[in-house]
Copies of this chain bind each other. A is one copy, B any other.
Amino acid sequence: MAWRARVFVTPKEGILDPQGKAVEHSLHTLGYPEVTDVRIGKVVDLHLADVSRDSAQTRVREMCERLLANGVIEDFTFTIDEAS
């Protein structure tokens, strides 16, 4: 089975996000004063070939912990769907 995984890596609550602050400021300048709490993270899309769903789950979690997210300052979540 082949899978499409989508990983979200976002700054932990309480961690400063200067990029988010900069975007928030720009949005206010552009005329969107209703916007607050802008936080910017990464989305990593990947394709996994020839593994079971359980193995895909386990291995994607491992990839997040070992490479994709920095556990000190970032949280991660992911979804896994069958690849078409």
A84–chain B nearest beta-carbon distance, Å: 13
Task: Give how many copies assemble into the complex.
Answer: 2
A36 contacts the other chain (CB 8 A): yes
Interface members, chain A 28-45 (any B CB < 8 Å): 30, 32, 34-45
Give the chain B neighbours of A10 by CB distance below 8 A.
43, 45
B23 & A67 in contact (Cβ 8 Å cutoff): yes
Task: Give the interface size bracket for A toward B.
Answer: 20 to 34
A54 contacts the other chain (CB 8 A): no
A8 contacts the other chain (CB 8 A): yes
> Which residues of A are interface residues toward B (Cβ below 8 A)?
8, 10, 20, 23-24, 26-27, 30, 32, 34-51, 59, 63, 66-68
